[in-house]
Homo-oligomer: A and B are copies of this chain.
Amino acid sequence: MHNPQLNKDGDLQHLLTIEGLPKRIVMDILDTAESFVGISDREVKKVPLMRGKSVFNLFFENSTRTRTTFEIASKRLSADVINLNIQASSATKGESLLDTIDNLAAMHADMFVVRHASSGAPHLIARHLVETGQSHVHVVNAGDGRHAHPTQGLLDMYTIRHYKKDFTNLTVAIVGDILHSRVARSDIHALTTLGVPEIRAIAPRTLLPAGLDQMGVRVFTDINEGLKGVDVIIMLRLQNERMSGALLPSAQEFFKSYGLTPERLALAKPDAIVMHPGPMNRGVEIDSAVADGKQAVILPQVTFGIAVRMAVMSILASK
């Protein structure tokens, strides 16, 4: 089946998922991001790469944090940004998703940054644009359901490369609610593409999806076993709504069994880095001593995230 993310020349047309994305494209994004990291330190943090381009942030699901990162990235590329919170607007007037998309495309949009609670919504939009010949509009998936969050996956890769240089000798552990996490899925695909030899998933059985073995992921239900000798620890956010339900006894119990404490961190390599996509639940999945400790690279992740989003957007806009 044709990969809808790539155009017929094999260039990036849309960023929908890291699954199936060629390694050369992932590397191109990371390399381009590197050139943008410096820009954020300059007096004038702007480049004219997207001047006069219209970026629409289409958030069908609220996420101020993610919307903000794309808004800043767009503005630093000199694009015009329009924020659309779609829950409240045309959806209530009964217009279909694709009619909304056609309308915005007719306004000569250049890019849609799409956040949606339903897995696959950005794909649906991208396929529709391709099928209707509206290839001047590029789609960036900013998180869809439990499916994918590719820019988060890419910024995680940027962060790992920044601190560890080489992917091919690493052991990376992903810890927490893997079952409901689009971040975990995107990270696993990216780590695999970049040749990480050992990926570990650490979680209680109730929060582990099926099929991790087939993806080449080693599963641990004991965090003390799973963290032994790892180079990178990616903590996941425990969603509030899961904390007192059928899947989990309580937030306190989760912390006792799976929270990242200094003692557990000591089981990893001495130079292991600790990552978290944010926002953190201190005292639930991560101890404050670790979150604020020397091995945490959680704030650099945020900084790199802006550069990675600038890279993705500028690469798409240049096609």
- A interface list, Cβ under 8 A from B: 40-46, 51-54, 62-65, 68-69, 71-72, 75-76, 80, 82, 84-86, 88-90, 93-96, 99-100, 102-108, 240, 278-282, 299-300, 302-303, 305-306
Contact = CB atoms under 8 A, between A and B. Distances in A.
A279 B90 contact: yes
16 contacts: A41-B108, A43-B52, A46-B51, A46-B80, A64-B84, A65-B90, A68-B82, A68-B84, A72-B82, A95-B278, A100-B279, A103-B279, A103-B299, A106-B299, A106-B303, A108-B306
Contacts of A279: 90, 93-95, 99-100, 103
A80 B78 CA distance: 10
B88 A62 contact: yes
Q: Which residue, of A45, A100, A106, A300, has the highest number of chain B Cβ atoms within 10 A?
A: A106
A69 B54 CA distance: 12
A317 to B, nearest CB: 10
Contacts of A53: 45
Contacts of A108: 40-41, 45, 303, 306
Given A72-B107, A82-B68, A108-B306, A240 B94 contact: yes
Contacts of A40: 108
Nearest to A93: B279
